[in-house]
């Protein structure tokens, strides 16, 4: 009894078990654990305590009791025990043998220690250790395969998992191929098929499901969970009791999974969500590492390509016979040199690198090179230097023909200077020899810079002329009037002034002007200076003349006169200031545009026009440009004398004196206010046109996609019993398809390519539907409060457009509250506006209205933002978050319904929208029909043509289901051949519009040519080539827009066939 008291006082559980596994003793701790009395335990088999069952242990389970009796050694195991209260506890069990006097094991004693809390801490500690060690491995290991292998090792050893592996999807087979594994795998993955395909059992396991979901999938009970059926037996053999699969992604796309297996059942729910959260984070880290390594591979490949390119370019540069050099743009130091340059200069390239021209060449020579370099870099243009002299190390002075080219970076700023120099010394020496001989012969005359003549005073013969003559080719014996005036006789009259005649008259030197026609047929102004030469007797014997071409001077004088006239009469403003910006001159155009007179402007600073729309930094940058000697061009928003703002296109140019100093500024300004407004209108019109073009292109393809979705959904609905659970799902698909169809019509209407159909509707139904869609996408930080009574009344509107109003206003409210959270309030009410209740800010006629109120508690807006809130393309959202069209569209829809929309907002106080729409009498037929008529049937022969095979098959099944005999074709040429073969074979032709070979219109046209009375229905997703009215005018009986419902199709077919029968009868 004393021993029992001692054992009962111990905090750990104590059991004594014989070789038949019968319990001989259990202390109070064990009895409390099992909620059993001593009588219920003593003499019973041990599995009643450990497994809470009456049946023996599963042979596949590891039993410490069996091991003690079979080996005679102590055993320590961990055991998860399910308590009577449904909770699980983890125990550390130490089982030790009890021997008789002969050393035989006859009994065993078992000590149970509760380690549940410790085990939980160990699990989480292990996972945190896994995350830390994995991050270290990602930093250390730069190759994918060894990194993944190391990660698997870390997961098993530090995370205390049975096994871990990582696999990737094979895109050809859609199977998962293991890439790394670690732990007690024992051939488990060898030959196992793990697929992404959900249609097969091997694709419905944790791995395949995780891949399809793009997240994680958990199996907490391998022994019983049906998703583990294909692998259960092998998994249990290896001690796998729980399995988790976690998706790996690269750039957002699922590429594989990492998988972990625990020897504990329900392992992943042990610590709440923390284990799954940590393993999901580990999957993100592995995904990041894979992207990082692959990115590094791509970078290394690019570097290798760059090295190859560099090697090729180096080979080219080294083999060019001309000197090639590269200097850095900042200090003009050599950074690259080729072999030809070394041979020319006599320096090794290593001696040149890092140095500039001053280190090798005479100062004056180096100064010339540096000046040209700066000219190239400043202008960012190639400069061709036909000749430059360079002092070489071994060859003395050499003459080079050099081209210098700026090399700019991505921002357009010069980074390097490239030079290519050809040694032309020998060629120049040869040219100089020839030139010296020619100069020797003409040195005397050619030293004069102007045309020079010696004229015989007796017979006007030119005895000598220099090569500077601009009047034509000199030949001995040429008369002066022939050369200078192209006349056959001496000059006479005032229109042909003659220097010889004047000198004979005055016997004094003369200066005169005349217009000369040069050999090219161009008029040139010439100033003639003539000097008489007399003999000893005072007789005039010769005249020496030289001529100055003053065409440019005369042209300049004329241009100045024209410029003054143009400035004074031009509509553009011209302003001239001194170097301090004080106005010295304004033209009449300035007075007209600004309203300031010349007297008011002169002596003032141009800042009298400043509007405040440009800040001080703008003007500082402008003056920095001007004071550096550069011209400035830009747009200014200025203010007239009367305070009116206007926009100017301005060009300001500094005027320099001969010393290069700024003495004036000239500004030419053009008022472009009207042009800018027109440009804005044009841009908006172009955007709307682009939207229209896009909408038309989308409509056809999207409606063709919707057609089989709607058709097959209706077929499926017709084939199942009314009580089938799928009925509601299919009705939702059909509803969604019809809304998508309406949405396409809305897009076309917005782009002015399709009309909208307004019909009576109950607005509360649309608002509730929109909020149902919206609620799923809003964060929990935003609360929706709604007040939407059903009795608020009906309105006349397009359902899709009204749905768009609700969604747009609610989405804007979400954007205003997404950072801070808040309340989105939606209220629907009916009001009557009369003279007494009229709201001043609401421009509405008297009558009954439905009011939609949408408000938020978000950031609110300033008044200047509210002033533009309904302008097209105006948005307060960030780049890529808004088009600026949402509220403009809402405003347009409301106005088209003769309604009104108001908005009130203040910063920090949220925003409130009120939409007023006219209420109609409930006697109008509403959009919800109370009575559905049966779909008409028939037995006629129909030919269905559509290039989309899925649509032709669908139409064939629908129409056959309605009793018709249907022949379908996906080829319009084949369909025409069938009609041509037997014109009476079909009672009706149903054809798509947009098809290869023959369009639906062309097919209809040719079919009617064969059989004029053939009824035709034309179907189209959207076409700009034909509409309903045009189709009917061409003899086509009906025109349907895809997608078309089964009811609409059946009614239209019956309507067309019956119309033909009535016409025949």
Taking only the tens place, the pLDDT of each residue in 971-984 is 999 999 999 999 99
228 in the same domain as 147: yes
* CA 71/CA 82 separation, integer angstroms: 28
The rounded mean pLDDT for the chain is 82
Which one-letter DSSP state was computed for residue 195?
B
Is residue 313 over pLDDT 90? Answer: no
CA angle 180, 181, 185 (to 5 degrees): 150
Position 707 in a domain: no
Which secondary structure element, helix H or strand E, spans residue 681, and what is its range?
helix 673-719
Q: What is the mean pLDDT of residues 759-767?
A: 89
Kindly report which listed range (710-719, 754-763, 902-911) carries the lowest average pLDDT score: 754-763
Last residue of a domain, one of 67, 99, 114: 114
327 in the same domain as 186: no
Q: What is the CATH number of the domain that holds 1037?
A: 3.40.50.2300
Give the model's confidence band at 470: pLDDT under 50 very low, under 70 low, under 90 confident, else very high. Answer: low
772 in the same domain as 907: yes
574 in the same domain as 546: no
Range of the domain at 663: 570-671
Torsion 940-941-945-949 (CA) sign? positive
Last residue of a domain, one of 870, 889, 920: 920
Is residue 441 over pLDDT 50? Answer: no
**And the tokens for 905?**
């907002």
pTM of the model: 0.34
pLDDT at 561: 81
Kindly report which listed range (60-64, 646-650, 730-734) carries the lowest average pLDDT score: 60-64
First and final C-alpha spacing in the chain:
115
Total domains in the fold of the chain: 7
Give the model's confidence band at 368: pLDDT under 50 very low, under 70 low, under 90 confident, else very high. Answer: very high
**In this prediction, what percent of the chain has a pLDDT beyond 90?**
26
CA distances from 395 to 344, 390, 1029 (A): 8, 10, 92
Give the model's confidence band at 465: pLDDT under 50 very low, under 70 low, under 90 confident, else very high. Answer: low
Q: Where are the alpha helices (DSSP H) in 897-1017?
A: 949-961, 972-981, 1000-1010
Give the model's confidence band at 497: pLDDT under 50 very low, under 70 low, under 90 confident, else very high. Answer: low
Position 165 in a domain: yes
Q: What is the mean pLDDT of residues 427-445?
A: 69
pLDDT at 407: 92
Is residue 881 over pLDDT 90? Answer: no
Half-sphere exposure in the Cβ direction for 227 (13 Å, CA)? 20
Q: What is the CATH number of the domain that holds 279?
A: 3.30.450.40
Q: What is the CATH number of the domain that holds 864?
A: 3.30.565.10
174 in the same domain as 215: yes
Is residue 360 over pLDDT 80? Answer: yes
Position 85 in a domain: yes
Burial status of residue 44 (CB atoms within 10 A of its CB: 0-12, 13-18, 19 or more):
middle
| CB-based contacts of 733, cutoff 8 Å, min separation 6 | 709, 713
SS3 percent helix, strand, coil of the chain, rounded to 5, is 40, 25, 30
Torsion 82-85-89-93 (CA) sign? negative
Give the model's confidence band at 406: pLDDT under 50 very low, under 70 low, under 90 confident, else very high. Answer: very high
* CA 555/CA 552 separation, integer angstroms: 5
Position 722 in a domain: no
395 in the same domain as 479: no
272 in the same domain as 226: yes
Position 748 in a domain: no
pLDDT at 58: 56
Cα-only R_g, the chain:
49
* CA 323/CA 22 separation, integer angstroms: 102
* CA 281/CA 474 separation, integer angstroms: 96
Position 829 in a domain: yes
88 C-beta neighbours (distance < 10 Å), count: 14
Last residue of a domain, one of 54, 89, 114: 114
* CA 261/CA 232 separation, integer angstroms: 12
Is residue 248 over pLDDT 90? Answer: yes
Kindly report which listed range (22-31, 434-443, 535-544, 899-908) carries the lowest average pLDDT score: 434-443
* Contact criterion met (CB below 8 Å) for 398 and 389: yes
Q: What is the CATH number of the domain that holds 86?
A: 3.30.450.20
403 in the same domain as 375: yes
1044 in the same domain as 1004: yes
pLDDT at 430: 81
Position 214 in a domain: yes
pLDDT at 825: 95
- DSSP secondary structure, 778-840, as one string: S-TTEEEEEE--GGG-EEEE-HHHHHHHHHHHHHHHHHHHTTT-EEEEEEEEEEEE-TTT--T
1026 in the same domain as 989: yes
Q: What strands, in cross-sheet order, belong to the sheet with 383-391?
A: 334-337, 323-328, 414-423, 397-408, 383-391
Is residue 1006 over pLDDT 60? Answer: yes
User: For residue range 116-152, what is the model confidence (pLDDT) as tens digits?
Assistant: 656 667 777 778 888 888 888 888 898 989 999 999 9
* Contact criterion met (CB below 8 Å) for 381 and 408: no
109 in the same domain as 129: no
Is residue 750 over pLDDT 70? Answer: no
226 in the same domain as 160: yes
**In this prediction, what percent of the chain has a pLDDT beyond 70?**
82
Position 737 in a domain: no
CA distances from 370 to 179, 185, 334, 346, 349 (A): 61, 73, 12, 20, 19
Give the model's confidence band at 496: pLDDT under 50 very low, under 70 low, under 90 confident, else very high. Answer: low
């Amino acid at each position: 009894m004393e021993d029992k008291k001692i054992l009962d006082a111990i905090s750990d559980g104590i059991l004594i078990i014989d070789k038949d596994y019968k319990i001989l003793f259990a202390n109070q701790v064990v009895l409390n654990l099992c909620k059993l009395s001593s009588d219920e335990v003593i003499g019973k088999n041990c599995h009643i305590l450990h497994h809470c069952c009456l049946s023996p242990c599963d042979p596949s389970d590891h039993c410490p009791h069996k091991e003690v009796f079979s080996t005679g050694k102590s055993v320590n195991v961990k055991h998860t025990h399910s308590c009577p209260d449904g909770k699980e506890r983890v125990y550390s069990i130490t089982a030790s043998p009890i021997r008789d006097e002969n050393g035989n094991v006859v009994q065993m004693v078992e000590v149970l220690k509760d380690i549940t809390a410790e085990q939980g801490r160990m699990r989480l500690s292990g996972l945190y250790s896994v995350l830390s060690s994995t991050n270290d491995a990602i930093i250390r290991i730069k190759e994918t395969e060894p990194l993944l292998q190391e990660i698997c090792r870390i997961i098993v050893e530090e995370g205390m998992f049975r096994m871990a592996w990582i696999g990737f999807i094979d895109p050809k087979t859609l199977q998962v191929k293991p890439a790394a594994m670690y732990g007690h795998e024992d051939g488990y993955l060898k030959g196992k098929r793990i697929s992404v395909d959900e249609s097969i059992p091997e694709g419905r396991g944790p791995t395949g499901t995780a891949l399809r979901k793009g997240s994680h999938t958990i199996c907490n009970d391998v022994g019983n969970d049906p998703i583990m059926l294909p692998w259960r037996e092998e998994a249990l053999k290896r001690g796998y009791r729980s399995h988790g699969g976690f998706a790996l992604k690269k750039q957002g796309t699922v590429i594989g999974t990492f998988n972990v297996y625990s020897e504990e059942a329900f392992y992943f729910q042990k610590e709440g969500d923390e284990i799954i959260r940590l393993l999901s984070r580990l999957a993100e880290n592995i995904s990041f590492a894979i992207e990082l390594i692959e990115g590094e591979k791509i970078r290394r490949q690019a570097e290798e390509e760059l090295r190859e390119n560099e090697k090729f370019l180096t080979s080219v540069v080294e083999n060019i016979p001309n000197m090639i050099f590269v200097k850095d743009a900042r200090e003009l130091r050599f950074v690259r040199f080729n072999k030809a340059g070394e041979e020319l200069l006599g320096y090794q390239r290593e001696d040149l690198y890092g140095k500039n021209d001053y280190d090798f060449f005479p100062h004056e020579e180096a100064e010339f090179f540096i000046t040209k370099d700066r000219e190239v870099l400043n202008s960012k243009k190639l400069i061709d230097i036909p000749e430059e002299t360079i002092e070489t190390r071994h060859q003395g002075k050499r003459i080079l023909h050099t081209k210098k080219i700026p090399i700019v970076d991505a921002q357009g700023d010069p980074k390097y200077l490239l030079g290519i120099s050809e040694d032309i010394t020998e060629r120049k020496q040869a040219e100089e020899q020839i030139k010296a001989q020619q100069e020797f012969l003409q040195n005397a005359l050619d030293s004069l810079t102007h045309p020079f003549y010696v004229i015989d005073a007796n017979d006007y013969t030119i005895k000598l002329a220099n090569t500077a003559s601009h009047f034509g080719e000199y030949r001995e014996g040429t008369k002066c009037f022939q050369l200078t005036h192209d006349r056959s006789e001496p000059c006479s009259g005032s229109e042909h002034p003659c220097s010889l005649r004047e000198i004979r008259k005055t016997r004094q030197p003369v200066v005169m002007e005349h217009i000369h026609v040069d050999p090219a047929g161009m008029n040139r102004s010439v100033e003639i200076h003539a000097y008489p030469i007399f003999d000893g007797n005072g007789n005039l014997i010769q005249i020496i003349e030289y001529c100055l071409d003053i065409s440019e001077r005369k042209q300049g004088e004329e241009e100045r006169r024209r410029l003054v006239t143009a400035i004074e009469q031009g509509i553009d403003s011209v302003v001239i200031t001194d170097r301090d910006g004080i106005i010295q001159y304004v033209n009449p155009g300035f007075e007209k545009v600004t309203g300031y007179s010349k007297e008011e402007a002169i002596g003032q600073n141009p800042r009298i026009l400043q509007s405040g729309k440009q800040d001080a930094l703008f003007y500082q940058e402008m003056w920095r440009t001007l004071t550096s000697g550069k011209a400035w061009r830009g747009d200014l928003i200025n203010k007239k004398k009367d305070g009116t703002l206007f926009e100017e296109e301005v060009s300001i140019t500094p005027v320099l004196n001969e010393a290069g100093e700024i003495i004036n500024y000239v500004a030419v300004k053009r008022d472009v206010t009207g042009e800018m407004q027109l440009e804005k209108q044009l841009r908006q019109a172009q955007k709307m046109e682009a939207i229209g073009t896009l909408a038309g292109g989308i409509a056809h393809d999207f409606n063709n996609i919707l057609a089989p979705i709607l058709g097959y959904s209706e077929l499926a609905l017709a084939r199942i019993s009314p009580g089938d659970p799928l009925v509601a799902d299919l009705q939702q698909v059909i509803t969604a398809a019809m809304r998508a169809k309406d949405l396409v019509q809305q897009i076309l209407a917005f782009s002015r390519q399709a009309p909208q159909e307004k019909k009576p509707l109950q607005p509360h139904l649309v608002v509730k539907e929109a909020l149902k869609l919206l609620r799923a996408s809003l964060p929990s930080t935003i609360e929706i409060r709604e007040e939407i009574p059903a009795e608020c009344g009906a309105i006349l509107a397009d359902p899709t457009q009204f749905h768009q109003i609700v969604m747009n206003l609610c989405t804007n409210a979400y954007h205003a509250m997404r950072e801070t959270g808040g309340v989105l309030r939606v209220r629907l009410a009916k009001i009557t506006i009369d003279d007494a209740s009229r709201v001043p800010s609401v421009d509405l006629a008297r009558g009954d209205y439905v009011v939609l109120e949408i408000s938020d508690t978000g950031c609110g807006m300033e008044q200047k933002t509210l002033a533009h809130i309904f302008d097209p393309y105006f948005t307060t959202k960030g780049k890529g978050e808004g088009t600026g069209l949402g509220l403009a569209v809402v405003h347009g829809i409301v106005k088209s319904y003769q309604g009104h929309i108001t908005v009130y907002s203040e910063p920090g106080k949220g925003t409130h929208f009120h939409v007023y729409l006219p209420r109609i009498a409930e006697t109008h037929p509403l959009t919800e029909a109370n009575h559905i008529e049966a779909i008409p049937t028939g037995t006629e022969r129909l030919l269905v043509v559509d290039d989309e095979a899925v649509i032709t098959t669908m139409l064939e099944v629908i129409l056959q289901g309605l009793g018709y005999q249907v022949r379908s074709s996906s080829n319009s040429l084949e369909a025409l051949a069938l009609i041509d073969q037997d014109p009476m074979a079909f009672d009706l032709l149903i054809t798509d519009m947009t098809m290869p070979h023959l369009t639906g219109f062309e097919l209809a046209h040719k079919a009617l040519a064969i059989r004029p009375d053939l009824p035709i229905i034309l179907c189209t997703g959207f076409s700009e080539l034909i509409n309903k009215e045009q189709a009917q005018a061409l003899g086509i009986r009906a025109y349907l827009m895809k997608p078309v419902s089964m009811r609409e199709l059946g009614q239209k077919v019956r309507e067309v066939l019956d119309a033909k029968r009535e016409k025949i009868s």
